[in-house]
Amino acid sequence: MNIIIKQLQGGECSLQVQPSTKISEIKSHIATTLRIPISEQKLLLLGRTLADDQTVQSYPQIKNGTKLNLVVKKPEGLLEVSTKYFKKHGMSEMEAKNAANRLLKVVEEKFNKLSWDDIERLSLDCMIEECGHLQPALEQEQETECEDAFGL
């Protein structure tokens, strides 16, 4: 059967599924197709969250042509993640918040000392790590910049 995944921020995609398809498999397909990490996805049907371990057939309302709403959850920031980390490793709430704030200041100071070339290299490394390769437009842009730099 064909279902439609509709992002609340706009855009949609269709997906062929079987009754035995798990919701987690649908999320994996969304992660690949729309490049939205599974941890940031929340699939809704009639306002209710679908459970990852359930199958399509677990929801009798899902039929051919059904639209599932995709809510993209805001990822946690460095402050929240580091606070959780410090608390997990034995710090009190206050100690964890203070340590997380100090960490953010150190990261900001280090980042502000980077050159534009360093930032560009870091960004490219992140992009390569994210999708396994540079996107064609970026490869072409890099070549053009080099040509312009040397007057070619």
For residues 29 and 2, is the Cβ–Cβ distance under 8 A?
Answer: no
Q: Which of 149, 116, 123, 118 is nearest to 138 (CA)?
A: 123
The partner residues of 45 in beta bridges, in order of sequence, read: 48
Stated pTM of the model: 0.55
Domains of the chain, by residue range, sit at 2-72, 76-108, 114-152
pLDDT tens readout for residues 69-90? 999 888 788 999 999 999 999 9
Cα–Cα–Cα angle for 119, 125, 128, rounded to 5 degrees: 140
pLDDT for the residue 122:
87
Give the separation between CA 93 and CA 90, rounded to whole angstroms: 9
pLDDT tens readout for residues 96-145? 999 999 999 999 999 999 999 998 988 888 878 766 666 555 555 554 44
Fold of 2-72: Ubiquitin-like (UB roll) (3.10.20)
The partner residues of 67 in beta bridges, in order of sequence, read: 4
